[in-house]
């Protein structure tokens, strides 16, 4: 059985991702508007060597590999299933300068000063010891190398989180214990302090406000949200009668967010940029 940490990484960050390929929906589709903004922020050069933290099925790794035509990209993730899918997709797309490893970036022995840029899309919030984790990443960067990552802003800024919490019987005024790690880097002052202690400098926070996509219609979105680790855990805790009522509330919440082009929820994230000191 996967550990709780593996489930958080694979299935949710905690509410916002599932195992790649689990349904008609996928994590890349959910985040596509946020990803468009993040992709523009990378500023990848032709010869760059890039490390992608928490790469999942490898969309972000493949994107930067295409930009670094004379460089290379390495994607790492704690999910062996996601890494297998990432390799499969890179082969299918003919991308030869992208490789993937099943590894935990918090303590993986990366080659020292091997990368020009470290990127991450919601993959850096789950370090058990964030200072040690970012220090490990920093050692993999060349001097003055760049970190560009996207992390969630606070739960109060993310309608998708509040709506699910309320439908499942939460108070909606803060993250549950299972979801708290997803917002561990939401506070800019705290995150800057972590990065500074880990050897990074010149941290900059860019506000990104884009909706996220939960599916083509209410049925698709309900299937997607039911697959989130924290949704499943909440329903189990409620027990059958209460869980059935919670699912009814969740369905009505999704109905309220359905449009002609799918089910959308408001979301806010930070793009955090820093350099190795």
Region 74-93 average pLDDT = 97
pLDDT at 133 over 60: yes
Q: What is the pLDDT of residues 155-199, one digit of tens each?
A: 999 999 999 999 998 654 445 544 558 999 999 999 999 999 999
- Section 76-92 average pLDDT: 97
Q: Tokens at residue 42, please?
A: 């990378």
What does the alpha-carbon distance between residue 17 and residue 224 come to, in Å, rounded to a whole number? 9
pLDDT of 8 reads 37
Average predicted confidence (pLDDT) for the chain = 89
Mean pLDDT for 236-256 is 94
pLDDT category at 230 given cuts 50, 70, 90 is confident
pLDDT tops 80 at residue 56: yes
Domains within the chain, CATH numbers bracketed: 4-276 (3.40.50.150)
Which pLDDT score, from 0 to 100, does residue 2 have? Answer: 30
The predicted model scores a pTM of: 0.88
The per-residue pLDDT for 229 is: 83
Q: What is the pLDDT of residues 204-215, one digit of tens each?
A: 999 999 999 999
Q: At residue 262, does pLDDT exceed 80?
A: yes
Q: What is the pLDDT of residue 6?
A: 35
Provide mean pLDDT across the span 72-92.
Answer: 97
Over the stretch 34-48, which tens digit does the pLDDT of each residue have? 999 999 999 999 999
């Amino acid at each position: 059985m996967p550990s709780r940490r593996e489930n958080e990484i694979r299935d949710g960050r905690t509410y916002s991702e599932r195992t790649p390929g689990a349904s008609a929906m996928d994590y890349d589709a959910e985040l596509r508007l946020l990803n468009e903004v993040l992709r523009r922020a990378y500023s990848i050069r032709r010869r760059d060597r890039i490390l992608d933290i928490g790469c999942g099925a490898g969309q972000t790794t493949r994107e930067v590999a295409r930009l670094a035509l004379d460089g290379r990209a390495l994607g790492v993730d704690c999910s062996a299933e996601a890494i297998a899918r990432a390799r499969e997709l890179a082969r299918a797309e003919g991308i030869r300068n992208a490789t993937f490893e099943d590894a935990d970036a918090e303590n993986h022995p990366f080659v020292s000063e091997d990368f020009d840029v470290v990127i991450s899309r919601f993959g850096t919030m789950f370090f058990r010891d964030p200072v040690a984790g970012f220090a490990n990443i920093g050692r993999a960067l060349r001097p003055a190398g760049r970190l560009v990552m996207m992390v969630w802003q606070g739960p109060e800024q993310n309608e998708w989180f509040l709506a699910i919490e309320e439908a499942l019987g939460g108070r909606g005024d803060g993250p549950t214990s299972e979801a708290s790690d997803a917002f561990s880097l939401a506070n800019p002052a705290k995150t800057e302090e972590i990065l500074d202690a880990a050897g990074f400098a010149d941290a900059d926070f860019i506000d990104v406000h884009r909706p996220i996509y939960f599916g083509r219609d209410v049925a698709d979105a309900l299937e997607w949200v039911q697959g989130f680790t924290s949704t499943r855990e909440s329903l189990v805790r409620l027990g059958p009668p209460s869980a059935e009522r919670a699912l009814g509330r969740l369905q009505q919440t999704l109905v309220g967010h359905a449009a002609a082009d799918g089910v959308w929820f408001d979301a806010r994230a930070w793009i955090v940029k820093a350099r190795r000191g």
